Amino acid sequence: MSPVVEYLFVAALPTAAGFALIYAWRGAGWLGEARARRKAPPPEPIERLQVDLRRLRAELEDTETRSGLTAKHHRVQALRGAYLDALMAACLRLDVGPPADGDRAPQAEIYRVEAALRQRGLDVRETAAH
């Protein structure tokens, strides 16, 4: 081999080794994340869902009826979205049909889901503890 080729090989070897280490490190991280995704977290206890639903519902009703709030519309939308997310999680746990239209569910649809959950033993309309 020519001395020039040997010099180029020796000069490129540390860079190639560095890239190999970086990609090995990233690959190990990706494998770890893939394993973590495969393990499903344990379902949230139904009592916790009930507490969250009652708290969110009480907070939503309080925010809707208060006057003079800054950015009231945005607060109501955020609370309504959080309430609907918790409602959908409860529906999945208790095998109840979730609200139609997802995050834009009409109030009648929310009432239907709340009634179905109440029939399954989860009453979301009781007063939340403050």
Q: Using one digit for the tens of pLDDT, what is the confidence trace for 106-119?
A: 888 999 999 999 99
Sorting pLDDT into bands at 50, 70 and 90, what band is 84?
very high
Sign of CA dihedral 90, 97, 56, 54: negative
Number of domains in the chain: 2
Q: Containing domain of residue 2, as a range?
A: 1-40
Tell me, yes or no, whether 129 lies in a domain: no
| pLDDT confidence of residue 87 | 93
Query: Looking at the domain assignment, is residue 29 inside a domain?
Result: yes
Q: Is residue 52 included in any domain, yes or no?
A: yes
Band of the pLDDT at 129, cuts 50, 70, 90?
Answer: low
If asked whether residues 23 and 69 sit together in one domain, one would say no
pLDDT at 127: 58
82 pLDDT higher than 70 = yes
Q: Are both 70 and 11 inside the same structural domain?
A: no
Q: Is residue 127 part of a domain?
A: no
The answer to whether residues 11 and 68 belong to one domain is no
How much is the pTM?
Answer: 0.65
Answer yes or no: do 13 and 65 share one domain.
Answer: no
Distances (CA, A) of 124 to 47, 54, 95, 97, 120: 11, 5, 16, 16, 11
